[in-house]
Amino acid sequence: MIGEATAQRVLGAALATGGDFAEIFLEDTETRAIAMLDGKVETAAYRRRCGAGVRVLLGEQCAYAYTAGIGEAALIDTARAAAAILAGKSGTASQPFGPKRVPPVDIARPFSSVGNAERIALLSRGTAAAKAVSPEVSRVTANYADVDQRVCICNSRGLWAGDRRPRTRLSFDAIASSGGEYQTGGERPALGMGFEAYERIDPEAAGKQAAQTAVTMLHAPNCPAGMLPVVIDGGFGGVILHEACVHSLEATAVAKGNSEFCGKLGQQIASAKVTAIDDGTLAGEWGSLRVDDEGEPTRRNVLIQDGVLQTYLVDILGGRIMGRPVTGSARRESYCYAPTSRMTNTFFAPGTDDEEEMIATMGEGLFAKRMGGGSVNPLTGEFNFAVLEGYWVKAGKIVTPVRGASLVGRGADVLQKIDRIGRHMWMGYGMCGSKSGSVPTNVGQPRIRVSSMTIGGKGENL
């Protein structure tokens, strides 16, 4: 994308007004997307995005500028624009580049080698499986997307790194209707690899699951409200860990004092059953990268070990403010954003508890089988999440599906009240938004149980 001599001239221009660190981020990304409604293709699109961003740091100050041009003149103009924001003493020099850090990437079927007929076939198969679930399935929306992102990062400390990040995803959303009532269900499998991902992703299973959720919830009574035990199933149930806890462990929040976990390293912040991990190295996963968006190798960061807070997720700027080393956690949506500390694949580690025993011994409460979206305040940890598919439990037995359930609480409280963690962990796939844009992340967990939690709902006693 860029030669070493050009890179050094751009970094020199970035440091000309006294910055003590400069970085260039170059990107070349191809994306393809197809949308289908009830078995008919609605849109098909191809996009290519190229550009670069230049960041300059001076102590704890940051300046960032970006350009769609990647020629030397455009890059130097961008570097000067960023440098002009800062005012310091000139004289900091860029170091010579060391060995290039460009990990190999094995893509069995590059997206460029695949015709749209194969992509459309995946959507058709999933749509047909969804429609076959019930005549009450009135509408199925299906989407396919793939991304092939190539990046190069070089900085004034002599770092030169690159990465290639193929990703692909299917999305099925079903609407079930009867007597003027409607309910929805969705499923969105994804992996961080080429088109060979569809040797592992089953579109029929995804379409069927989306429809089954919609039909089940269509005939479910409203969920009762109360403070009761809650069992949260694995996979996307990990969204509670992601939103209600780990956002508060990112330097983006901690460095500014906007986290309930500030100053709590080495302290017990969760049940002793809880070990929480963010791991960007998992091969082929949706949230994985070989190097982060500052060029650092990603790693397995154990955030909480046996309930004790071990580390935060730290980028270069956050590390300067906090006095902490980086953790390979800097991410950005594209060259249009400066990087910040972000999650990759975040999950509760497997435990030793029996999944069926959790329900059998919970008395009355809610089994949240499929979680939806929600909101959280990182400063207080207070959250509110929707339950897409829930079941009411009485005397340790599931008695009925329930709809309209929500889970309300505070992250630190929920972590302390986890009294069971199952043996089998699996992942859910999503997009996470923050100040550096939207990035792909995995959330995961085994089935867990929270001894008591606020359940929101409009239903009566069941």
pLDDT tens-digit readout, 130-142: 999 999 999 999 9
Task: For the chain, give the mean pLDDT.
Answer: 95
Do 295 and 211 lie in a common domain?
no
State the average pLDDT over residues 290-306: 98
Residue 376 is predicted with a pLDDT of 80
Question: Which stretches within 185-250 are classed as H helix?
Answer: 203-218, 239-244
Which stretches of 179-285 are assigned E, i.e. beta strand?
181-187, 190-191, 226-232, 276-279
Residue 372 lies in a domain: yes
Residue 450 lies in a domain: yes
Do 237 and 164 lie in a common domain?
no
State the average pLDDT over residues 309-337: 97
State the average pLDDT over residues 414-422: 96
pLDDT at 294 over 90: yes
Contacts of 170 (CB under 8 A, 6+ apart): 122, 123, 126, 142, 143, 144, 188, 189, 190, 201, 203, 206
pLDDT at 374 over 80: no
Residue 91 is predicted with a pLDDT of 65
More confident call, 1 vs 83 = 83
Do 245 and 197 lie in a common domain?
no
Q: Quick one: 48 exposed, middle or buried, by C-beta within 10 A (0-12, 13-18, 19+)?
A: exposed
pLDDT at 12 over 70: yes
Domain around 183: 4-218
Residue 461 lies in a domain: no
Do 231 and 213 lie in a common domain?
no
Q: Do residues 155 and 315 lie in contact, with contact meaning Cβ atoms separated by under 8 Å? A: no
pLDDT at 271 over 90: yes
State the average pLDDT over residues 395-419: 95
Q: pTM above 0.85? A: yes
Do 207 and 295 lie in a common domain?
no
pLDDT at 462 over 90: no
State the average pLDDT over residues 213-229: 96
Residue 402 lies in a domain: yes
State the average pLDDT over residues 362-384: 88
The CATH code of the domain that includes 160 is 3.30.2290.10
Q: How many helices (H) and strands (E) does the chain have?
A: 9, 22
Do 347 and 442 lie in a common domain?
yes
Do 214 and 354 lie in a common domain?
no
Residue 373 is predicted with a pLDDT of 79
Give the chain's domain count: 2
Rounded Cα distance, 424 and 401, in Å:
24
Two tokens, residue 241: 């860990």
**pLDDT, tens only, 169-210:** 999 999 999 999 999 999 999 999 999 999 999 999 999 999
Residue 1 is predicted with a pLDDT of 78
Place of tokens 């039909």: 215
Residue 411 lies in a domain: yes
Residue 378 is predicted with a pLDDT of 76
State the average pLDDT over residues 51-59: 97
Do 182 and 322 lie in a common domain?
no
**pLDDT, tens only, 85-110:** 987 776 688 999 999 989 889 999 99
Do 195 and 286 lie in a common domain?
no
